[in-house]
């Protein structure tokens, strides 16, 4: 696949294709560690910061530190200083799939005009409240609906979205299990 | 379990216990839908907004709309306007487990002074780059390390963290599979 001239979605596909080839022969450089630090404020209000990560065999930094507030809404008797932790999963999913659509479109020579994804997660809160031990704590199901305006047929747009899903880090993380270990230091 | 007088972590545990009892008899009110909308900016840069949700049988709103920027870092030939989509999963995990620690501590009559969680996700980016089809797209593993300063023994603190994990929405969402359906509208 080559990048079609004249199409510019702002994704440097050539750099990604070059990285793919380079990392085939250097698997250790492909090992990234992403990090975050969460500090308790009060109640269920927390602040999480993200700044540094490791990858390409070295310590790396984002240009700026980002801080994220989480809380519970007033209907849970909290102060609603920010979105809930589980909503951050929808932020990750929507942004990952949408970034993927742009990358695949660039690679396929499809000019995008606009992309919007609506994400909805169905959550039975009896799980986290301990009201019913048969109810899971997490989402029961998540739906993502894309509106894409592009120089492409509906069939090509559906194929774009399907390919984005196939390569999405967050889609995989939500649809398949990951080992999470929690310790007290 | 009752709340011990004099302990105040800022969590209204009585309201949560009341909600648990009320929702045992009203499962339909326990069905929440959390929502987000992602808009493509340029390249892999997106903006995701979160404002409304549904629950307790009605439409609900956060007090304010929140907006979240995602992008890729400069080492991926992008502009690093914000953290990557997969890092948002760590924000959700850290904030969920930390909020849980505060809630369980309140319920057990343990006064917290500080809680800090360090979250790290190991990610082999050969998956998302398509460099090796045997490598998954998501995290290979995630670790969470808690430092808790509280009026409690180490054993009680470890039990707090374990109970938070047991009731965590995001811990469940990452360690167990969820059905995610993606469509073009």
Closest CA to B110 of B31, B29, B32, B6: B6
- Token pair belonging to B117: 């969680």
Please give the share of chain B, as a percent, with pLDDT higher than 90. 97
Closest CA to A128 of B96, B22, B178, B93: B96
Q: Is a pLDDT exceeding 60 seen at residue B3?
A: no
Going from the first residue of chain A to its last (185 residues), give the mean pLDDT of each consecutive group of 10, the final group possibly shorter: 72 92 94 98 98 97 98 95 98 98 96 98 96 96 98 97 98 98 98
pLDDT recorded at residue A1: 41
Beta bridge partners of B146: A184, B117
Which tens digit of pLDDT belongs to each residue from B94-141?
A: 999 999 999 999 999 999 999 999 999 999 999 999 999 999 999 999
Closest CA to B118 of A72, A58, A182: A182
pLDDT recorded at residue B4: 59
User: Average pLDDT for residues B1-24, to the nearest whole number?
Assistant: 84
Other beta carbons within 10 angstroms of residue B42's beta carbon come to 16
Question: In this complex, which of A27, A44, A115 lies closest to B40 when CB atoms are compared?
Answer: A115
User: Average pLDDT for residues B50-66, to the nearest whole number?
Assistant: 97
Q: How far apart are CA B42 and CA A103, in angstroms?
A: 10
Largest pairwise CA distance in chain A: 58
3-state helix, strand, coil in chain B (%, to 5): 35, 35, 30
Burial group, residue A28, by CB count within 10 angstroms (0-12, 13-18, 19+)? exposed
What is the second-level CATH architecture of the domain B84-175?
Answer: 2-Layer Sandwich (3.30)
Q: How far apart are CA B113 and CA A11, in angstroms?
A: 46
Residues in chain B with CB shorter than 8 Å from the CB of A137 are: 167-169, 171-173
User: Does the ipTM surpass 0.95?
Assistant: yes
**Alpha-carbon distance B58 to nearest alpha carbon in chain A (angstroms):** 11
Q: How far apart are CA A29 and CA A91, in angstroms?
A: 28
The reply to whether the predicted model has a pTM over 0.90 is: yes
Q: Is a pLDDT exceeding 50 seen at residue B60?
A: yes
**CB within 8 Å of chain A, chain B residues 130-169:** 130-132, 135-148, 154, 157-158, 161-162, 165, 167-169
**Structural domain spans, chain A:** 10-83, 84-175
DSSP state of A176: S
The CATH code of the domain at A10-83 is 3.30.300.20
- Put simply, the answer to whether A89 touches B9 (Cβ < 8 Å) is no
Count contacts between A and B (CB, < 8 Å): 471
**Alpha-carbon distance B151 to nearest alpha carbon in chain A (angstroms):** 15
Tell me if domain B10-83 and domain B84-175 are identical in fold: yes
Q: DSSP letters of B99-158?
A: HHHHHHHHHHT--EEEEEEEEEEEEETHHHHTS-TTS-SS-SEEEEEEEEEESS-HHHHH
- Put simply, the answer to whether B124 touches A24 (Cβ < 8 Å) is no
Q: How far apart are CA B140 and CA B179, in angstroms?
A: 19
3-state helix, strand, coil in chain A (%, to 5): 35, 35, 30
């Amino acid at each position: 696949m080559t990048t079609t001239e004249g199409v510019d979605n702002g994704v440097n596909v050539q750099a990604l294709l070059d990285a793919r080839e380079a990392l085939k022969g250097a698997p250790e450089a492909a090992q990234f560690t992403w990090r975050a630090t969460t500090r308790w404020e009060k109640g269920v209000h927390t602040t999480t910061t993200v700044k540094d990560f490791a990858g390409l065999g070295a310590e790396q930094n984002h240009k700026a530190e980002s801080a994220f507030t989480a809380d519970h809404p007033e209907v849970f008797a909290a102060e609603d200083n920010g979105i809930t932790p589980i909503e951050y999963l929808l932020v990750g999913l929507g942004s990952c799939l949408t970034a993927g659509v742009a990358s695949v479109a660039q690679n396929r020579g499809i000019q995008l005009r606009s992309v919007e994804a609506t994400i909805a997660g169905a959550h039975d809160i009896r799980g986290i409240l301990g009201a019913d031990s048969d109810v899971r704590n997490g989402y029961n199901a998540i739906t993502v609906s894309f509106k894409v305006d592009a120089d492409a047929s509906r069939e090509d747009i559906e194929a774009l979205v399907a390919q984005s899903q196939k390569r999405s880090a967050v889609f995989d993380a939500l649809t398949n299990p990951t080992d999470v270990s929690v310790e007290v230091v």
